[in-house]
Amino acid sequence: MSSKTSNYQSDRPRGETLVWLCSAGLALGVLMVVILLGLIFWEGLNVFWPKSVVEATLKEDSSYKLGEFPTVAGVVVKRQKNSRTGIEEWQLLTGNKDAYGAMFKYIDTEEIASLEYPEGIVVAERMEYGNSIFYPLSLTLRDGTKLSVKDADFWPTFEHALEEVRHRYHEIHELEKNTIGKINRKVNTLTIKQRQFEREKAEGKTLHEKDLKKVEDRISTLQQEFGILAAKAKELRAMQNDEVLEYRLSSGQIRSQPTGDFVGFHKPNEMGLLDKIGFFFRHIWSFLSERPREANTEGGIFPAIFGTFVMTVLMSACVMPFGVVAAIYLQEYARQGTFVRGVRIAINNLAGVPSIVYGVFGLGFFVYMVGSTIDQVFFSDRLPTATFGTGGILWASLTLAIMTVPVVIVATEEALTAVPRGAREASLACGASKWQTIQRIVLPASAPGILTGLILAMARGAGEVAPLMIVGVVKLAPSLPVDGIFPFFHLERKFMHLGFHIYDLGFQSPDSEAARPMVFATTFLLILLVVVLNLGAILIRNHLRKRYATSTF
Amino acid sequence: MDTVTQSSETTRPSVGENSPNKQFIEIKDLSFYYGEAQALYNLSFDIPEREATAFIGPSGCGKSTLLRNINRMNDLIDGIRHEGDIRVNGTSVYDPLTEVISLRKRIGMVFQKSNPFPKSIYENVIYGLRVSGRNKKSELDQIVTESLQGAALWDEVKDRLHESALGLSGGQMQRLCIARAIANQPEVILMDEPCSALDPIATGKIEELIHELKKEFTIVIVTHNMQQAARVSDNTAFFYLGKLIEYSTTENIFFNPANPQTEAYITGRFG
């Protein structure tokens, strides 16, 4: 029997082992992608989950004491073996940077006498100095009454006080940003006018004497208005400090801080699963919808999401028509010869040029050449303050559009060649001109392929950082590129970008350890944004594919 | 018999007195080249009006090339060249003054592979009118009805004119393409192996249709199917290696071929 099987075995095809090699290659690739995405997904979402606070009682003679009490409270961030001593050590997020001088503390587990998860301990998010972990003692209200933590209405009152603080905070922001901002802009325009009139007056034209007076009057009324509003903002700011919370740190220090310094609080050790889930989603929402605080390490990243989105959309709007039109000429009209072949090779090579080169080109061409010219022609009265002659979202989008145009051209050409000859011939035989055929038959049929090119371009553009750093991305943009102030689209403005935000948080922030969760969360979001943009394009593509599928039989 | 073969005659062969109709397409000394390769050699013959004329011959004999020269579909190919002339109803198709777009409107074409557009049946039929800028609803409606009736498709699709044409069967699609060709009200319809991808029943319908259509249009049909040529055409031209071997009434070609090559091909001894 064995001889029989061996006879057959000798004919086994040899090349089949290669199949294993191919599948192993694919498996490796898939594995790496899954690990990368899994890590980002897990770490990115883990940031928002409320974690229990552990309180470690240290041994009597421990050198890890932070205050008079031998206790340290914090969230365990990392457990590792000390490479030198071989003892397990924990990294605790202790918070209270203002009291301890650092956010984190390493503790040898051997120094710990006992552990507990104390009830009543509070994790509070603050406007400055990061989180604080403490036991509240009392709350002094505006009218002077002092509520002890043991009083029944302490927690509701504290929550209410924070609610008011948040409300006031938004009010101040609204006032300073929008109302006062509007007045400032008006004053600026009027000042420019005033200067112009004064110049004309100096040149001997008396024509505008009356107008000049009018402008001056208008400026002074606005300045009065400004004074009133500024005083109101100041008053609101003062009110933020009226109520004071007194609290005790785990290590024993007793501190007091006005409620205006707090953003919110939660008691992680007393939360049930539902509370935690609720907190998780609230936390995510505030991350998505709020502005960053404290050199971007706290708060949300809304401006960066918005900036990335607007930039990508703007880029797509520029690159689509341009790339498609170029590809149509190249494929349909240009005489196929050495020159066109050369052009095609050049386009393919452009796709491989390092993106920073495009950034430098964008800076030189768009910002310095085009931008300064626009400034001189249209905004000469604002000079020397540059309007378009400096980096901005328009120039960033155009730079990325140039960078991604080869992708669109190549994909479009491919889609155009894929349109069956029969479809073109049918149209031409009906008496349609070449352009009519392209417009009515060829373009609709190749739309899915063209969109694939756009998807690739968007994915590349949205994740790009290097060229943006020199044509308009900033660490912190004071205002969004699209807002409610006329003319609504401010394409000259600088903007924030998720990719740059990641770089900034990870490598430029004062406390990179504290910013680490934000890096993961932001990365997660950037990937999510790219996926959402791609999904959108894929849905449109599938819809078109169904609609314009050419006959195959 | 006035059967003539290219080799023995200097004058243009035609089915001449056998046909009561005037000569509609006149081909004079036509030679055609794809780059260096010559595809057609000095062809000269006439095609009469309102009759069906079949081009037969083995693959690569130039019959499709000739057909596609009549409405200048070969213009799409780079590096083509021709000598001689084709006149349709007295006008040269190569005349620089002839607008190729209006030429193609006068000469409809049906292809081997049915190629309806991914649009509704209605829009498919009126495509030629749309591109000429004719958009009057009542006029379009009437032409759609007439063309679909003309292509014997009306009864099958009248209830779903606005559904996608890609939902039709293969035979229906090909008849839709015929309807699309006749919607332009052409003088000539060129058919390039219109039935080669269809089953016998669909083929039968198209053949019946050709009998109807030739009452109004001049039809030129390229076919590989000898029986089909015998069934539908009034005249038959046999090509071999780019040369016209024999051109006569279909009856003569099939029952009394003058050239031994023709006879060999028809009886299936080569080709």
pLDDT in tens, A397-406: 999 999 999 9
Chain B neighbors of A446, CB-CB under 8 A: none
pLDDT, mean of residues A512-529 = 85
For residue B173, give the nearest of A336, A425, A551 by CB distance: A551
Higher-confidence residue of A242 and A12: namely A242
The model's confidence at residue B4, banded by pLDDT at 50, 70 and 90, is very low
pLDDT reading at B15 higher than 50: yes
Res B3: pLDDT: 44
Q: Which residues pair with B92 in a beta bridge?
A: B87
What is the per-residue pLDDT across A366-392, written as a single tens digit (0 to 9) for each? 999 998 888 888 887 777 777 788 888
Residues of A contacting chain B (CB within 8 angstroms): 335-336, 420, 422-433, 436, 440-441, 444-445, 547-551, 553
Chain A residues in contact with B71 (beta carbon < 8 A): 429
SS3 A124: strand
Q: pLDDT tens across A20-72, in order?
A: 889 999 999 999 999 999 999 998 888 889 989 999 888 877 777 777 788 88
Average pLDDT over residues A318-322: 93
Q: Which of B75, B113, B163, B185 to mutate to test the interface with A (most CBs of A within 10 A)?
A: B113
* B167: nearest CA partner in chain A: A551
**Any residues with CB less than 8 A from the CB of A379 and at least 6 apart, and which?**
A387, A388
Judged against a pLDDT cut of 90, whether residue A328 lies above it is answered with: yes
d(CA A341, CA A329): 13
pLDDT on residue A20: 86
What is the distance in angstroms between the Cα of B196 and the nearest Cα belonging to chain A?
Answer: 12
Query: Starting from the edge strand earliest in sequence, which strands make up the sheet with B243-249, in order?
Result: B4-5, B243-249, B235-240, B52-56, B218-222, B188-192, B107-110
Residue A430 CB burial class (10 angstroms; 0-12, 13-18, ≥19)? buried
Residue A472 falls in which region: left (phi positive, over 0), alpha (psi -120 to 50) or beta: left
Q: Do A429 and B113 touch (CB under 8 A)?
A: no
Q: Residue B46: which of B20, B83, B12, B77 has the closest Cα?
A: B12
Q: Do A430 and B173 lie within an 8 Å CB cutoff? A: no
The pLDDT, as a whole number, for residue B166 is 87
Instruction: Give the pLDDT confidence score for residue A13 in this predicted structure.
Output: 66
Q: Concatenate the DSSP letters of all residues of A501-550 into one string.
A: HHHHHHHHSS-HHHHHHHHHHHHHHHHHHHHHHHHHHHHHHHHHHHHHPP
Q: Is the pLDDT of residue B223 over 60?
A: yes
Cis, bond preceding A487 (omega within 30 deg of 0): yes
> Residue B271 pLDDT more than 70?
no
Inform me whether the pLDDT recorded for A350 exceeds 80. yes
C-beta separation of A494 from A473 below 8 A: yes
Q: Among partner residues A336, A431, A548, which is closest to B128 by beta-carbon distance?
A: A431
Within 8 A of B105 by CB-CB distance, chain A residues are 430-431
Which of A289-293, A528-532, B128-132 ranks highest by mean pLDDT? B128-132
pLDDT band at A1 (very low <50, low <70, confident <90, very high): very low
pLDDT band (50, 70, 90) for residue B5 = very low
DSSP type of residue A52? P
Provide the greatest CA pair distance for chain B. Answer: 56
Residues of A in contact with B167 (CB under 8 A): none
What pLDDT is attached to residue A24? 93
Residue A249 has pLDDT above 80, yes or no: yes
Q: Which residue of B has its CA nearest to A435?
A: B131
Whether residue B102 and residue A431 make contact (CB cut-off 8 A), yes or no, is yes
Of B104, B170, B173, the CB nearest to A431: B104
Query: How confident is the model over A155-199, as pLDDT tens digits?
Result: 888 888 889 888 998 888 888 877 887 888 888 888 888 887 777
Chain B CA closest to residue A437: B131
For A425, which of B73, B101, B165 is closest by C-beta distance?
A: B73
- ipTM at complex level: 0.86
pLDDT in tens, B129-144: 999 888 889 999 999 9
Do the chains contact at A426 and B115, CB–CB below 8 Å? Answer: yes
**8 Å CB contact of A423 and B117:** yes
What does the mean pLDDT of chain A come to?
Answer: 85
Give yes or no for residue A551 having a pLDDT over 50.
Answer: no
